[in-house]
Chain A
């Protein structure tokens, strides 16, 4: 079956503009995660959804960041008034809850460059 897809794959934007990143999870996966990764670094947790609800928004860096998920499927991450420090790869992952063990499957990421 299809894996996690993300769009766009690359986005270059000017400082101050808003951007919207999209994630299509694996069909049937109830949980969806957003992470941010700087070059060669580990993953910084941003937010996760269980269904359409976001129980944990603690990782969002500022109020310029928001995310939503509709229909238990597609999710969008919106960054308003982008800053140069927002430049990074934004990764989305989905998982299917199976008892105490759940495994994430990642998309290829969106590389965001703020000029």
Chain B
């Protein structure tokens, strides 16, 4: 059973476009993290959101935690080729539950 579902699974866009990645669950989490992973490397933590309804901005990235703390979204403005990678959400409970991943390709 996959606790966290991400959509879309694959995304290929042109440089300069905006995009949103979704992370959905029927479970409540005490916190939720977003990671980016590049080929051959481990995931790198981008942000942690804790409070329902919380919005965090990291340069061109905006992260939102749902009011019920069951879902989250990642919005990227004016995507750049350097944003290419696998984006993973992870909910914190008794352990970390990772989402299915979204593979993003930004074409120059």
> Which A residues contact B (CB, under 8 angstroms)?
4, 33, 35, 40-43, 45, 48, 56, 91, 93, 100-109
Instruction: Check B48 for interface membership: any CB of A closer than 8 A.
Output: yes
Could you tell me if B94 and A107 are in contact, using CB atoms closer than 8 angstroms? no
Distance to closest chain B CB from A110 (angstroms): 10
Which residues of B approach A to under 8 Å, CB–CB? 6, 30-31, 33, 35, 40-45, 48, 50, 86, 88, 90, 92, 94-101, 103
Tell me how far the C-beta of A30 lies from the nearest C-beta in chain B, rounded to whole angstroms: 14
- Given the known interface contacts A40-B86, A40-B103, A101-B50, the answer about A107 and B97 at a Cβ–Cβ threshold of 8 Å is no
B42 near A107 (CB under 8 angstroms)? yes
16 contacts between A and B (CB under 8 A): A4-B42, A40-B86, A40-B103, A42-B98, A42-B100, A43-B43, A45-B97, A48-B95, A100-B31, A100-B92, A102-B31, A102-B92, A103-B48, A104-B33, A106-B35, A106-B43
Q: A43-B88, A56-B94, A103-B45 are in contact. List 20 more A-B contacts (CB 8 A).
A: A33-B95, A40-B86, A41-B100, A41-B101, A42-B88, A42-B98, A45-B95, A45-B97, A56-B95, A91-B42, A93-B42, A100-B30, A100-B92, A101-B48, A104-B33, A104-B45, A104-B96, A106-B35, A108-B41, A109-B40
Q: Which B residues touch A102, using CB under 8 A?
A: 31, 92
Q: How far is the CB of A51 from chain B (nearest CB, A)?
A: 15
User: In the complex, how many angstroms separate the beta carbon of A41 from the nearest chain B beta carbon?
Assistant: 6
Q: Is the CB of A100 within 8 A of B100?
A: no
Cross-interface CB contact of B98 among A43, A107, A109, cutoff 8 Å: A43
Q: How far is the CB of B53 from chain A (nearest CB, A)?
A: 16
| B101 close to A42 (CB less than 8 A) | yes
Residue on A nearest B103 in the bound complex, by CB: A40
Instruction: Give chain A nearest CB distance to B104 CB in angstroms.
Output: 12
Q: How far apart are the CA atoms of A101 and B92 in the complex, in Å?
A: 8
CA distance A101 to B49 in the complex (A): 9
Known: A42-B100, A56-B94. A101 touches B41 (CB 8 A): no
